[in-house]
Amino acid sequence: MIGTGSAPSPFGQLSGPTVRKVKDPFHGDLLEVSMGPQHPSTHGVFRMDVTLDGEVIVKLKPVFGYLHRNHEKIAENTSYLGSMPYTDRLDYLSSMSTNWAYALAVEKLAGLTVPDRAQYLRIILAELTRLVNHVCLVGFLFNDLGTSFTPLLYAFREREKIIDLFEALSGSRMMCNYQRFGGCRVDPTPEWLAAASRLVDNFPSFLDEYESMLTGNEIMLARTQGVGRLDPKHAINAGITGPVLRASGVNYDLRKVDGYGFYPRFDFRIPLGDHGDTYDRYMMRILEMRESVKILQQAFRELPAGPIMDPKAKLRGFRPKPGEAYGRLESPKGELGFYLLSDGSPNPYRYRVRPPSLINLTLLEEMCLGHTVADAVVILGSIDIVLGEVDR
Amino acid sequence: MESLEQIRDRLLARFPGASITLVTNPGPAAEHSLLLSAEHARKIAMFLRDDAALQLDYCSNATGIDWPDKEVVETKKVAVPDPAGGPDKVVEEKTTRLEPGYLESVYHLYSMALRHGPVVIRMRTVNRSNRVTLPSLTPVWRSCDFQEREIYDLYGIVFDGHPDLRRLLMWDEFKDHPMRKDYVEPDDFEWEPTPHGAVLDRAKTHYPAPEVKP
Amino acid sequence: MSTADNTRAPDPFPAAGNISDDEREELRRHGILMTSLEELYNWGRSNSIWPIQFGLACCAIEMIAAATARFDIARFGAEIFRPSPRQADLMIVSGTVTKKMAPQVVRLWNQMPEPKYCIAMGACAISGGPFKQGYNVLKGIDRFLPVDIYIPGCPPRPEALLNGLMQLQKKIRGEHLTGPDAARHTRADVPGEFPVPTFGEHDLEPTRNPEVWTPPAPITRSGKG
């Protein structure tokens, strides 16, 4: 490997595809390319400083910060509730999950409970968000594979249906701002629930249609199988979570491990991959969507009546006791955590987001080494990053 | 998982010279933490990762906290003898003492193999100057790589032994550490229709305060 | 120009200017289409605006949504998102411009060929929006670039983007090729490129382009009642 300044792995050198070690005189010089921050397939303002030997990557340095919007500093200067709208803008494809993660951390910090109906509503909305996120991810991944826009059109057709539901419920298409500490903001009407249930029942047929076009596609198989392998030992050490980790065969899903919310009441399975390559990461998303549909159907069947807010929860003058809490949940991208430190004042003393998108990029260089530039784009697409969360 | 006190006792037995303190968390979350001394921290972290009963193979979250210098006012009751010969007067004497601030780094550890956690460990620097060092835990958990770079960027803790310590979010020429509590933002606010609080103070330096209708 | 305008400088294409709208409509009914070069030129430009494929933040998702089947920006001829600034006519600044990103945005703008237009999409691109208090957030891209259309919203709906695009089309159709009020890109004295700010030790240097933007005058509510 030619002068990679990356962190030495505690398990020794990674066994990736071989990279030419010695510069032989018949080859040309190495070429340094800066991909991004404006690049059609870096999913936003992400930049990779790539060193190329011909078309093969010998070094890759991610550069962050082009969307560093100082979320943490702003949150430390506003009230606890005032940060809720900002969490929408962290992971702007799945704002409901991000809301929930923040609410979960504050509830842990202040010791609030959540009524049953709100717990079910949270699961319904989080799983709908997972559908939106994964379906868009697959669309973007195929964009990166070169099937410009067509799978994305199908994906956005479904996304529009789901975010219409979000809009009917919360008033905004993307920035839902729905969860509150100790419950939810508005109660859905029976018509909303019926419409959502109908959508979920129709979703598997869309998935079948989608998969019939994509999964067996020959070019897709050739471009993804064996590309960007990630082995479980390194993945765990690098803190990689979510579908990317499970594609490598590690059974670690916080919905099962932590059992937050009412997830222990639900009957679903965790799909696991064998190879940890891009194809497995793609399949994880498809299989997770099918499991999400199961969770949603069960939630619509069992949704109880009752209040949606903890009566003890205060929206105004909310001052948790001094202390700290780390709340985390399984967002569509991985483990999304909020670390909050309260000194008894209305503002958090320390507010920290543990972004899954950022930490899942830790091993991007190792995954890309020895592959071509075109594959690096696909590998990045399969990791599923949202820059609002990477840079915060 | 064994309790944090048991872990501390085992660590003290294993590393006799190290200072390990239990920091209690008074909140309802009750996630207590272990304060490690900087010189033994990496060895202890290695032990936590590789110990068969703990196997904390996954460092989820690493972050920094800034604790600025604070003035502590201590009141002491002193008995002053009455010169007139009466009973002693009790006078309260106030002494102010400057408690030096420090920077802190906090790590949340979990075990994926045994599915337990979190174990929270923290380290503190000696002061808040610009060249304060703590040992890097990136050689132990690779997931600290970007997060320690972020702490270095935003708080200014220099991590010893980090393989690639550069600013993560701000540009390389940037000199400040913006998440510190005493950081002063560049003043580029414009006029706001309804300024209040800090925004109003800043607006006053640019424009006269808006006249409010009676 | 569709109507004769005596206040303007001598029209290089008087034939089109001397004919009234009614007469043209009458001719059109007989199958004769008459137009001026200016009108034809603006009509063609306004209906084939190629935006640069350049997403910054949340608004970029709504920009993509505007390009998909439901909202279908292709109806306005603007569906060809070009990844290269050299092929683009329109820059949709869709999202928060951070100080780290601002030099790149200006550089992209400089690389775009004239005639070029800029839409500030969303609260962040207009003024910093909810992230206005941030130390790394530029308080509006109009501090460095001339913005043609502002689209408020956080994020604006795709319909709002389409409305902004229609406003831009209207603006393009009203542009003149010659005369004192000629369009920006036809004049040699108006700059098409702007200085790129550099990274300083505490902030961007300079923090704004004084030729493009000056702080607004304070609004004092002095009136009684």
Chains that touch B (3 or more CB pairs under 8 A): A, C
Q: Which of B172, B186, B199 sits opposite C203 (nearest CB)?
A: B186
Tell me the CA end-to-end span of chain C in Å, nearest whole number. 46
Q: What is the side-by-side strand order in the sheet with A323-331?
A: A323-331, A334-342, A350-354
Please state the rounded mean pLDDT for residues B152-159: 90
Task: Tell me if C101 and A37 make a contact (CB, 8 A cut-off).
Answer: yes
Task: Tell me if A89 and C157 make a contact (CB, 8 A cut-off).
Answer: no
DSSP C105-170: HHHHHHHSPSS-EEEEESHHHHH-GGGTT-TTB-S-GGGTS--SEEE-SSSPPHHHHHHHHHHHHH
Closest chain A residue to the Cα of C63, Cα to Cα: A156
* pTM metric for this prediction: 0.86
Give the A:C interface size as CB pairs under 8 Å.
93
pLDDT at A14 over 70: no
What token pair was written down for A288? 């997770």
Q: Which of A7, A237, A391 sits opposite B163 (nearest CB)?
A: A7
pLDDT at B31 over 70: yes
Residues whose CB is less than 8 angstroms from the CB of residue A232 and which lie 6 or more positions away in sequence, other chains included: A245, A248, A249, A250, A276
Cβ–Cβ < 8 Å for B171, C199: yes
Say if A321 is an interface residue toward chain B (CB within 8 Å). Answer: yes
Task: Tell me if C222 and B211 make a contact (CB, 8 A cut-off).
Answer: yes
pLDDT tens digits, A179-214:
888 888 888 999 999 999 999 999 999 999 989 988
pLDDT at A162 over 80: yes
Task: Tell me if C139 and B190 make a contact (CB, 8 A cut-off).
Answer: yes
Question: Which residues in chain A are contacts of B178 at CB distance < 8 A?
Answer: 70, 73
Question: Which residues in chain B are contacts of C202 at CB distance < 8 A?
Answer: 174-176, 186
> What ipTM was predicted for this assembly?
0.85
pLDDT at C223 over 50: no
pLDDT of C27 reads 85
Beta strand C149-151 with C117-121 is parallel
pLDDT of C20 reads 78
Question: Which residues in chain C are contacts of B170 at CB distance < 8 A?
Answer: 100, 136
CA distance B164 to chain A (A): 6
pLDDT of C1 reads 43
**Percent of chain C whose pLDDT exceeds 70:** 88
pLDDT of B206 reads 66
**How far is Cα C224 from Cα A152, in angstroms, rounded to an integer?**
57
Task: Tell me if A174 and C58 make a contact (CB, 8 A cut-off).
Answer: yes
Q: CA-based angle C53:C55:C56, to the nearest 5?
A: 150
pLDDT of B27 reads 81
In terms of residues, how long is chain C?
Answer: 225
**How far is Cα A149 from Cα C90, in angstroms, rounded to an integer?**
20
Chains that touch C (3 or more CB pairs under 8 A): A, B
Question: Which residues in chain A are contacts of B171 at CB distance < 8 A?
Answer: 65
pLDDT of A128 reads 92
Q: Which of C55, C58, C137 sits opposite A70 (nearest CB)?
A: C137
**How far is Cα C165 from Cα C79, in angstroms, rounded to an integer?**
11
Question: Which residues in chain B are contacts of C139 at CB distance < 8 A?
Answer: 188-190
pLDDT of A26 reads 67
pLDDT tens digits, B90-120:
877 788 888 888 899 999 999 988 888 788 9
What token pair was written down for C129? 């929006």
Task: Tell me if C216 and B175 make a contact (CB, 8 A cut-off).
Answer: no
pLDDT at A382 over 50: yes
Question: Which residues in chain C are contacts of A86 at CB distance < 8 A?
Answer: 130
Q: Which of B170, B208, B213 sits opposite C136 (nearest CB)?
A: B170
- Domains identified in chain C and CATH numbers: 58-168 (3.40.50.12280)
The dihedral formed by the CA atoms of A36, A42, A47 and A49, expressed in degrees to the nearest 10: -90
Write down the domain spans for chain A: 71-391
Tell me which of A35, A88, A89, A158 to substitute to probe the interface with C (most C C-beta atoms closer than 10 Å). A89
pLDDT tens digits, A119-157:
999 999 999 999 999 998 898 888 888 887 888 889 999
Provide the b/e sequence for B10-47 (b: ≥16 CB within 10 Å). Answer: ebeeebeeeebeebebebebebbbbbbebebbbbbbeb
Confidence of residue B62 (pLDDT cuts 50, 70, 90): very high
Cβ–Cβ < 8 Å for B122, B106: yes
Say if C104 is an interface residue toward chain A (CB within 8 Å). Answer: yes
pLDDT tens digits, A37-79:
888 777 778 888 888 888 888 888 899 989 999 899 989 988 8
Say if A60 is an interface residue toward chain C (CB within 8 Å). Answer: no
DSSP B20: E
Say if A68 is an interface residue toward chain C (CB within 8 Å). Answer: yes
Q: Which of B118, B15, B112, B24 is nearest to B63 (CA)?
A: B118
Question: Which residues in chain B are contacts of C132 at CB distance < 8 A?
Answer: 189
- Domains identified in chain B and CATH numbers: 4-66+102-174 (3.30.460.80), 184-214 (no CATH)
Q: Which amino acid, A262?
A: F
Q: Which of C125, C109, B176, B142 is nearest to A67 (CA)?
A: C125
- B205 or C77: which carries more pLDDT confidence? C77
Task: Tell me if C53 and A40 make a contact (CB, 8 A cut-off).
Answer: yes
Q: Which of A250, A243, A245, A235 is nearest to A362 (CA)?
A: A235
Please state at what angle helix A278-302 crosses helix A190-214, rounded to 10 degrees: 160
Confidence of residue B150 (pLDDT cuts 50, 70, 90): very high
Tell me which of A350, A365, A387 to substitute to probe the interface with B (most B C-beta atoms closer than 10 Å). A350
Cβ–Cβ < 8 Å for B182, B68: yes
Task: Tell me if C68 and A153 make a contact (CB, 8 A cut-off).
Answer: yes
pLDDT of A4 reads 40
The SS3 call for residue C90 is: strand
Task: Tell me if A238 and B170 make a contact (CB, 8 A cut-off).
Answer: no
**How far is Cα C88 from Cα C109, in angstroms, rounded to an integer?**
10
Task: Tell me if A89 and C137 make a contact (CB, 8 A cut-off).
Answer: no
Cβ–Cβ < 8 Å for B104, B124: yes
- Full 3-state SS string of chain A: CCCCCCCCCCCCCCCCCCCCCCCCCCCCCCEEEEECCCCCCCCCCCEEEEEEECCEEEEEEEECCCCCCCHHHHHHCCCCHHHHHHHHCCCCCCHHHHHHHHHHHHHHHHCCCCCHHHHHHHHHHHHHHHHHHHHHHHHHHHHHHCCCCHHHHHHHHHHHHHHHHHHHHHCCCCCCCCEECCEECCCCCHHHHHHHHHHHHHHHHHHHHHHHHHCCCHHHHHHHCCCCCCCHHHHHHCCCCCHHHHHCCCCCCHHHHCCCCCHHHCCCCCCCCCCCCHHHHHHHHHHHHHHHHHHHHHHHHHCCCCCCECCCCCCCCCCCCCEEEEEEEEECCEEEEEEEEECCCCCCCEEEEECHHHHCCCCHHHHHCCCEHHHHHHHHHHHCCCHHHHHC
Confidence of residue C225 (pLDDT cuts 50, 70, 90): very low
| A37: preceding bond cis by omega (within 30 degrees) | yes
In terms of residues, how long is chain B?
Answer: 214
pLDDT at A11 over 50: no
Say if C157 is an interface residue toward chain A (CB within 8 Å). Answer: yes
Task: Tell me if B28 and A240 make a contact (CB, 8 A cut-off).
Answer: no
Question: Which residues in chain B are contacts of C136 at CB distance < 8 A?
Answer: 169-170, 178
Q: Which of C68, C70, C96 sits opposite A67 (nearest CB)?
A: C96
**How far is Cα A9 from Cα A372, in angstroms, rounded to an integer?**
23
Chains that touch A (3 or more CB pairs under 8 A): B, C
Closest chain C residue to the Cα of A40, Cα to Cα: C83
Confidence of residue C161 (pLDDT cuts 50, 70, 90): very high
Question: Which residues in chain C are contacts of B207 at CB distance < 8 A?
Answer: 218
Say if B206 is an interface residue toward chain C (CB within 8 Å). Answer: yes
pLDDT tens digits, C192-214:
888 899 888 888 888 888 888 87
The dihedral formed by the CA atoms of B37, A238, A334 and A227, expressed in degrees to the nearest 10: 170
Cα A113 to chain centroid distance, Å, stands at: 26
Cα A104 to chain centroid distance, Å, stands at: 17
What token pair was written down for A37? 């921050």
User: What CATH fold (topology level) applies to the domain A71-391?
Assistant: Cytochrome-c3 Hydrogenase; chain B (1.10.645)
pLDDT of A27 reads 65
Task: Tell me if C199 and B171 make a contact (CB, 8 A cut-off).
Answer: yes
Closest chain C residue to the Cα of A36, Cα to Cα: C104
pLDDT of C133 reads 82
Task: Tell me if C219 and B210 make a contact (CB, 8 A cut-off).
Answer: yes
Say if B204 is an interface residue toward chain C (CB within 8 Å). Answer: no
**How far is Cα C199 from Cα B175, in angstroms, rounded to an integer?**
11
